């Protein structure tokens, strides 16, 4: 189906899109992070709606004081149980979309089968990717996933979209990057701050493309990120920032994640996914190989079974047992 087969965003407001969402089935849910992924349709085209319970605005003591007040903050309450000095309740909180929203929604529309697979519940595998497996399986996949598949990244870098959200930019085409809030962050709660730095240069798809020649650039980007974040958000100090990259990344244009250390970023900050940028730089500094860098390294990561990389790639080479 082409983009002309359904209404464009110019024809529908964001609220209209959500209202037209028709439920099909639940793809996945996480009771820890309070996130649910729902598959449905908008105008007969597949759509994925993700709903996440919002964090409390703990930095706003007046709002929390109001929240903890029956009638003004708690509209209804029911005692669940009691034991000595301990009591447990269920409650309905007074909510307002501007000051105390109940949930953060994200929408993918039109959604492809790749999106559906990614957001569905799936078993995961531990992949030990040797240089040989990288060249055989991942390189062809990266070639397929670049270009038009990440046009949305290029739109950000060229200021065609999301320009109003940019926190900081170094416009140099080789050394620079754009720093902006990740859509996972509500842009309010400092404890859950989540930013992403997308580099301008296009020759680095993942950490596999890094070598010793990139060390000065990576150190400069690292320092610039810390300075930009602490200036934009004075309440945050350098030692409160977790600055890391993903391997495997979710898209193949080099980018860096920046979160508050207090924020539980789930699998995105877990072993088998996240690598601290400072540790990455240290590994490069320790290398004797000055040319090839990480292209000749072995990396271990987690991969979902729904991924094309598993079903059409690593499964045949690794799942021999």
Domain with CATH 3.30.428.10 in the chain: 122-318
CATH superfamily of 122-318: HIT-like (3.30.428.10)
The Cα–Cα gap between 138 and 136 comes to: 6
The Cα–Cα gap between 288 and 290 comes to: 6
The Cα–Cα gap between 153 and 252 comes to: 10
Tens place of pLDDT for every residue, the chain, 321 residues?
Answer: 333 344 445 445 567 889 999 999 999 998 878 899 999 999 999 999 999 888 777 667 777 787 777 667 888 889 999 989 989 999 888 888 877 788 889 999 999 998 999 899 999 999 999 999 999 999 999 999 998 889 999 999 999 999 999 999 999 999 999 999 998 888 888 888 999 999 999 999 999 999 999 999 999 999 999 999 999 999 999 999 999 999 999 999 999 999 999 888 777 788 899 999 999 999 999 998 777 899 999 999 999 999 989 988 998 876 553
Q: What is the DSSP string of 162-201?
A: SGGG--EEE--TTT-EEEEE-TTS-SS-GGG-EEEEEES-
Give catalytic residue positions. 255
Check residue 40 and give its pLDDT. 96
């Amino acid at each position: 189906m082409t983009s002309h087969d359904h209404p464009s965003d110019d024809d529908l407001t964001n609220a209209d899109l959500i209202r037209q969402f028709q439920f099909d089935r639940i793809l996945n849910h996480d009771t820890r992070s309070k996130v649910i992924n729902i598959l449905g349709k908008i105008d007969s085209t597949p759509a994925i709606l993700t709903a996440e319970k919002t964090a409390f605005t703990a930095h706003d003591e007046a709002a929390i004081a109001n929240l903890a007040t029956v009638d003004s903050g708690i509209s209804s309450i029911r005692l669940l149980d009691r034991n000595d000095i301990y009591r447990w309740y269920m409650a309905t909180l007074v909510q307002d979309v501007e000051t105390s929203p109940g949930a953060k929604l994200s929408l993918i529309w039109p959604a492809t089968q790749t999106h559906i697979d990614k957001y569905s519940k799936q078993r995961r595998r531990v992949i030990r990717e040797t240089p040989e497996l990288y060249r055989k399986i991942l390189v062809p996949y990266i070639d397929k996933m670049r270009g038009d598949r990440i046009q949305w990244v290029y739109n950000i870098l060229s200021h065609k979209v999301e320009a109003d959200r940019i926190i900081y930019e170094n416009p140099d085409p080789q050394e620079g990057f754009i720093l902006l809030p990740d859509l996972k962050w509500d842009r309010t709660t400092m404890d859950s701050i989540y930013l992403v730095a997308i580099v301008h240069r296009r020759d680095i798809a993942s950490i596999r493309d890094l070598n010793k020649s990139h060390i000065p650039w990576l150190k400069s980007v690292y320092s610039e990120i810390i300075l930009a974040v602490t200036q934009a958000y004075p309440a945050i100090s350098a030692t409160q920032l977790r600055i890391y990259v993903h391997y495997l990344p979710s898209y193949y244009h080099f980018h860096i994640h920046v979160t508050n250390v207090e924020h539980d970023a789930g699998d995105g900050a877990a072993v088998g996914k996240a690598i601290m940028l400072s540790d990455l730089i240290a590994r490069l500094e320790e290398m004797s190989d000055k040319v090839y860098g990480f292209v000749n390294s072995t990396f271990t990561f987690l991969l979902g079974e729904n991924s094309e990389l598993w079903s059409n790639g690593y499964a045949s080479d690794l799942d021999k047992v």
